[in-house]
Amino acid sequence: MSILFDSNSKVIVQGITGKQGSFHTKLMMEYGTNVVGGVRPGKGGEWFEGTVPIFDTVKKAREVTGANVNMVIVPPAAAVDAIYESVDAGIELIIVLTEHIPVHDMMKAYQYVKASNSRLIGPNCPGLLVPDVGKVGFMPGSIATPGNVGVVSKSGTLTYEVVYALTEAGLGQTTCIGIGGDPVIGTTFVDVLEMFENDPDTEKVVLIGEIGGRAEIDAAEYIKKHMTKPVAAFIAGQSAPPGKRMGHAGAIVSGGEGTAEEKIKALQNAGVRVARNPEEIPDLLK
């Protein structure tokens, strides 16, 4: 069993004709993802790769295909409107890969999504992957294998590294999710941890965090109060100087808050085994 995505999921891609959208859609299809349509205004009636219909609007794509997942891979200036359009069309799961969306715009989009029945993952995220079932986003399917470990991460690259290490150690995964590292995101660590806790097939969990903000502190509090499954974690940016943004827009330590030391201590106090480097995680789970 997986969370959020399974073999019945029907995916459309908003931005399917762009360079990145086209490239990653092809990889998703090759992996087995059920891509049922694409969206690009002015391109309605055309076909992608000869088999996937393109529509002018998300609403029309959903009406014709029954899509319940939309991968948004459009320029930053168009991304928030893409989120609004997806919500208005009734898309259940909206995965936004686009980065550099202004924080103020995302604050409004966040509230719009929260007032609906849709769920948003991202922005600025690698998407999700269910081994041997499908993927939506950038994650390389070749490194994953089915199993009982759930993975949730802020970082795309570290997600790949940890998933590969788990696979090499014989620890397969149920679902791998990149939630994104921007200051305002649609789905948090706590949201995903709750899903993994309630998923009967997920027996262990990996959390990959980073400096900045308090998402990992909130996760530690949730784990301490509610999680019955073992959790291993890694916090990136342990050597980052205060006041410097490291990679993600949300990865900045300000006023002494959001340090790696603070987050590691909170996680350890919650019973989480914290790795010194990503390669240690499989041993901590065993």
User: Which residues are marked as active site?
Assistant: 248
Please state the separation of Cα 167 from the chain's center in Å.
19
Please state the separation of Cα 179 from the chain's center in Å.
4
Q: In which residue are the tokens 């360079």 written?
A: 19
If we measure between CA atoms, which residue out of 100, 45, 93 comes closest to residue 74? 100
Q: Distance (Å, rounded) from C-alpha 188 to C-alpha 217? A: 12
